[in-house]
Amino acid sequence: MFVDSHAHLDDPRFDSDRDAMLQRAWDAGVRKILTIGNGSGPDEMGCGIPIAESHDWIYASVGVHPHDAAKVEERHYSKIEQLARHPKVLAIGETGLDFYYDNSPREAQREVFRRQLELANALQLPVIIHTRDADAETEEILKQVRPQRGVIHCFTSGDKLADFALGIGFYISFSGIVTFPSAKALAEVARRIPSDRILLETDCPYLAPVPHRGKRNEPGFVADTTRFVAELRGVTPDALAAQASANFDRVFPPKTS
Ligand SMILES: [Zn+2]
Ligand SMILES: [Zn+2]
């Protein structure tokens, strides 16, 4: 059984075939998906909830992507708090810093990241962190506002951030990027990190793994990334999938009602 720890199922690219796409994921052996509640900005943070409500194997997060940090108003933090009480919402995020695209001013990104980390701690929920070209500052902010639990998603950072994340008890999630022939250093991180900290994701509709590279990505393709990383680590795909699933349940425990 495979787990897709990070998917954007609300994306308009799935509007024409969302049900068929989810059926393909199920048929490929995917038994859990976390759909990310960013939407196209802070007014759409609830976008994953209706999908999670209509599928018992799908869960949601809520939060503001660093790209949208400039759009955040004070009322959005209370909105996060309110949506996070939903029984299927298991995490805050994705949030973080993206100094590659710089779609929002860096000062806004830092502030919105910090505020969401504080909220996650107050709500006792894990955080999903997006970081690109911002390893040092991500580490700095995580040292200042130490989250209780969390994941660095779509990990593409260096060894230093990997070791820091592992040191504070975080999980590291690999997307299809790890299957790209150019991603040798990343493959080495995926090979060496402890088995009780690894997660696998698609980040669909982006970043389809080999052999689907360049196409629209979807949750069923997490099977390809799992097989690739299992090979790197010298374990069977089933063993890695079981481990990733147990890790998912530890970092994103279901809410007991
Ligand atoms: Zn991301
Ligand atoms: Zn994402």
pLDDT, tens only, 1-54: 999 999 999 999 999 999 999 999 999 999 999 999 999 999 999 999 999 999
Helix axes 184-192, 222-233, angle to 10 degrees: 70
Q: How far is the CA of 219 from the centre of ligand 2 (A)?
A: 12
Ligand whose nearest atom lies closest to the CA of 95: 1
Q: How far is the CA of 255 from the centre of ligand 2 (A)?
A: 22
pLDDT at 256: 82
Q: How far is the CA of 36 from the centre of ligand 2 (A)?
A: 7
Q: How far is the CA of 6 from the centre of ligand 2 (A)?
A: 6
What are the tokens at 253?
Answer: 């425990």
Ligand whose nearest atom lies closest to the CA of 96: 1
pLDDT in tens, 49-70: 999 999 999 999 999 999 999 9
Burial pattern 81-93, b for ≥16 Cβ within 10 A else e, equals eebbebebbbbbb
Residues 224-247 have a mean pLDDT of 98
Q: How much is the mean pLDDT over the chain?
A: 97
pLDDT band per the 50, 70, 90 thresholds, residue 253:
very high
pLDDT at 185 over 90: yes
What angle is formed at CA 51 by the lines to CA 87 and CA 179, rounded to 5 degrees? 105
pLDDT at 244 over 80: yes
pLDDT at 257: 62
Distances (CA, A) of 62 to 38, 42, 58, 89, 193: 6, 9, 14, 7, 28
Residues, CB within 5 angstroms of ligand 2 (ion): 203
What proportion of the chain, given as a percentage, has pLDDT over 90? Answer: 99
pLDDT at 188 over 80: yes
Is pTM beyond 0.75 here? Answer: yes
pLDDT in tens, 198-235: 999 999 999 999 999 999 999 999 999 999 999 999 99
Decide: 201 and 183 in contact? Cβ < 8 Å.
no
Q: How far is the CA of 189 from the centre of ligand 1 (A)?
A: 18
pLDDT in tens, 138-176: 999 999 999 999 999 999 999 999 999 999 999 999 999
Q: How far is the CA of 74 from the centre of ligand 1 (A)?
A: 23
Residues 87-107 have a mean pLDDT of 98
pLDDT band per the 50, 70, 90 thresholds, residue 109:
very high
What are the tokens at 204?
Answer: 């669909």
pLDDT at 129 over 80: yes
Residue 96 CB neighbour total at 10 angstroms: 28
